[in-house]
Each structure stands twice: as structure tokens, then as C-alpha cells.
Amino acid sequence: MKSQDSAALFTGATHAPAPLSGEEKEHLAKEIELTSDVALDAPPWLEPDLKNSLGTRYAEVMATLQNRAPVFLRVNRKAATLASAQESLANDGVETQPCLTAPFALKVVVGERRVPQSAAWAAGLIEVQDAASQAVCEALPLDADMRVLDYCAGGGGKALAIADIAQVRVFAHDADPGRMSEIPDRAKRAGVKISRLSTAEAVLQAPFDLVLCDVPCSGSGAWRRSPEGKWKLTQDALSDYSDLQYKIFTQAAELVSETGILAYATCSIIGPENTDQIDRFCAEHPEWRILIRKQFLPSPDGDGFFVACLTRGDRPA
């Protein structure tokens, strides 16, 4: 607090607090030096991992995570262009701008609360999806007529994006089938087909040409959307996530065709959930090699995501 601010507040007049003493004024005038974990709102126990993972961009990324997250939309390329979707949204009071993180991403700059009531939404021209999440789907090496399994589909955001990107057959699976309950309605609105599978059905339908594991994680890349997440996360929880991620990854590998692609994704910026998992998998399964490995860091143009694609075949990198 600046001295002039405190003088104006602490006047003793009417209901105002009493004037500050000389000692109190002297204390307020001192510059307070915060440790980096406090200044950047980082859990102290996790700071070494974050610094190691983010390197020279640690302070920049952690500062970004203290800001409010933008709302991003994915334009359904089968139904609209960026320009036509923007025009339709603008007619309903939603102003957007293209986002370079993904080719069909729009950032909402005005009227985000109007999106669900917009004509563009009702007509299936758009979906709400973070731009970096879209970029993860765009990074997948999709070919026409592939059979693609979204192994941890949840609400189906990535499955919908994959179905929009390429002429592929999309299947969705989740350990908790209830999480996929909205997929049929979302797919119908978007004009795409997604087949939901139980675990037993996924095994029977295997092998697939591409299996995406968007595994449970710390959510550190999206902490600005749920800031309490960083303080609820513990060392034990991170270790549990790591164990679960690797278990899912190895299970999914068994569903991939001999020349197919195994994709691993998180919304994390922590190395042990990302590069460390890929390195461990390749060390223990040397027949697999890395095609793609990308880390998207939180920025004004998207959340933090990681994606890696592996294959046993001779597909060029």
C-alpha cells in the first residue's frame, strides 16, 4: 500500500480507522520481497519439478496461470468456415478472433455467456474447446478411413474434434462409461458419428489404427480454470497419477495395430507426467519409437497440453 493511500484511509474521521503510527507507516513503506513460490502462487513442494519442466519460461508460465482463462471455440469445418462462424456469432452478440494455436480455433473476446444461446451453437457450427486441446488433435497423424479409439474419452471433446478433422471412424471408451453420456447428443449436433464402447467391446473391436490416451493428470496446464487444483494436489496424488497414466498407456498399446499409432496426451506441464512417461515406455518397449512429441505451454492463446505419438511401423516421422 502506498503511503498516500494509507493516509487517505486511516484518518480517524467518522468511521475511518485511526491514523497510523510512525512505526506502522515505516513498515508499510518497506518493499516486501516475496519468495518465488509465493509471488508465482506455486506449491513449494512442486516448485522444483515445475522449474525443471518449464526452464527459463517458469516465471512467465506461472504468471499466466494467475490470470483468467479465455474461452475458445472450435469451428466445425464440415459445417462452417472461420469467417461464417464469426459472422453468425457476431449476429448474436459474440465477438471472436482467430487463434493461431489451431487452424479452426476462435477466441471469444466479447459475449462468452451468449455462446450456448447462439444460433451457431444450436446449428453445430461450433464447440467449446481450448485452442491447445484442438492443437493436440490437429497434431495426430490421421489418415482417411482410419479406425480411431479415444481411450479416455470423457465428454468426447477430442473425439468430436478428430471426427471433424479427417474422414475416420471414431470410437469412444472411458473407464467410467457414465462420463460419455453426452457424446450421442454432441455428435448429433455436430453431424458426426462416434461409437461408444465398453472395455470388453474395445478389446473385441481391436486392433485400431490409432489409439489416443488422454490420461487423467494433475491438470496443471489448466490451473487458471481451477486454481484450487494446485493446492489440492499432493506428492502422493501426483505419484498415483503417474502410476495410473502408465498403466493406461500400456493397456492402450495392446489395442493398437502392428503398424498403428499410440498417442499419449495430458493437460499437464509437469515433466514426470509427460516426457518421463514417454521415455520410460520407450525404454521398456524398445519396439516403439517416437513420431511426435509436443508441449503446449499456458498462454493467452491456450492452456498447457502435452502430446506424443509412437509407432512400431515404418511411418515417417
In the beta sheet, which residues pair with residue 90? none
Residue 253 backbone phi and psi in degrees, to 5? -60, -30
Q: Which residues contact 126 (CB under 8 A, 6 or more apart)?
A: 73, 74, 75, 76, 80, 85, 89, 106, 115, 118, 120
Q: What single-letter amino acid sits at 247?
A: K
Q: Which residue shows C-alpha cell 475416420?
A: 168
Burial of 43 (0-12, 13-18, 19+ CB in 10 A): middle
**Annotated catalytic sites, by residue?**
267
Cell triple for 22:
510512525
Cell triple for 85:
462462424
Annotated binding residue 174: yes
Annotated binding residue 130: no
Cell triple for 164:
471433424
Which residues participate in the annotated binding site for S-adenosyl-L-methionine?
Answer: 174, 214
Which residues participate in the annotated binding site?
Answer: 174, 214
